[in-house]
Homo-oligomer: A and B are copies of this chain.
Amino acid sequence: MEKLFIIKIGGNLLDDSGRLSTFLEMFSAIAGNKILVHGGGRIATRIGARMGIKEKYEAGRRITDGDTLDLVTMVYGGLVNKQIVAKLQSLKCNAIGLTGADAGLIPAVKRPVGQVDYGFAGDIVPGGIRSATCTLLINQGLVPVFAPLTYEDSGTLLNTNADSIASALGIALSATFEVRLIFCFDKGGVLERPQDPDSVIHSLDPERYRQLKSRGVLNNGILPKLDAAFEALAKGVSEVVIGDTAQLMQHVQGNISGTLIHA
């Protein structure tokens, strides 16, 4: 099986054009099959503020109302995605910008209303990803760049967590490729003591994860990422790395400087 790198980048990086450029230069230098998944970043908040769209929260959770859906469709699906694509093209990386709606790649369902109505938030349909189309694009030397948007059958776009998209793509494509899933963020890896940047856990298996969770030492923000990572691993992804964006080439080359998630 050929290797496939799926690399997820998030908020802070997207808001810093200098760091983003450096990252895209590294990304374009990765040889072989690769996918980039990007999150949102604060630019949507900033543009929303200029348009008079306020962020909405319910029980501490962010809500995607109709205005917010239009905003993230514009900012993530348009501005952020296409700027990344154009920059990668200039670096001779044959990027193609996509949302989950394009080519029907990532079907989702609107999250059911429970205690919280999340609005136009999408949960990816398990087994729904059109991996044949995705594989076709990759085999043509194209580099898919995914914005954190999916869609449902009714024709509505849905706001979807970028970690979940990266993980779901990894699972779907692990039938065809040997997938290494790399979550890039601003820390050196998963930290045992959130205040101590030197406390990177270099190796994490499900048992140790359970222990750390039960001790309550992990930063709450990292838990969804770790859940996505372990799910990907359980469902076919070969390796998952969580680490510093600046160390991308190490994560790709296998000199793990961040956290290696393994079974």
**Minimum CB–CB distance for A53 against chain B, Å:** 9
Q: Does A140 contact B (CB under 8 A)?
A: yes
Bound-complex Cα distance A46 to B30 (A): 41
Q: Which residues of B contact A18 (CB under 8 A)?
A: none
Query: Across the two chains, which residue of chain B brings its CB closest to A93?
Result: B104
Bound-complex Cα distance A86 to B77 (A): 12
Instruction: Please state if A156 and B101 are interface contacts (CB–CB under 8 Å).
Output: no
Q: Which residues of B contact A154 (CB under 8 A)?
A: 90
Partner of A74, one of B79, B89, B95, B151: B79
Contact code string A75-95 (vs B, CB < 8 Å = 1, else 0): 111110111011111110011
Bound-complex Cα distance A15 to B87 (A): 31
Instruction: Please state if A82 and B101 are interface contacts (CB–CB under 8 Å).
Output: yes
Interface residues of A in 112-166 (CB under 8 A from B): 133, 136, 140, 142, 149, 151, 153-157
Partner of A76, one of B78, B89, B96, B98: B78
Number of this chain's copies in the complex: 2
Q: Does A170 contact B (CB under 8 A)?
A: no
Q: Which residues of B contact A101 (CB under 8 A)?
A: 82, 85-86, 89, 95, 97
Q: Contacts A73-B82, A78-B74, A82-B101 known; A89 to B151 CB distance under 8 Å? A: yes
Instruction: Please state if A153 and B90 are interface contacts (CB–CB under 8 Å).
Output: yes
Query: Across the two chains, which residue of chain B brings its CB closest to A153?
Result: B90
Q: Does A99 contact B (CB under 8 A)?
A: yes
Instruction: Please state if A104 and B94 are interface contacts (CB–CB under 8 Å).
Output: yes
* Partner-B contacts on A (CB < 8 A): 47, 50-52, 70, 73-79, 81-83, 85-91, 94-99, 101-104, 133, 136, 140, 142, 149, 151, 153-157
A-B contact pairs, 10 of them (CB 8 A): A51-B51, A74-B75, A74-B79, A75-B78, A78-B78, A82-B99, A82-B157, A83-B157, A88-B155, A95-B102
Beyond the given A50-B52, A70-B79, A97-B102, please list 15 additional residue pairs across the A-B interface where CB-CB is below 8 A: A50-B50, A73-B82, A74-B74, A74-B78, A74-B79, A76-B78, A78-B79, A82-B99, A82-B149, A86-B101, A89-B104, A89-B151, A89-B155, A95-B101, A103-B142
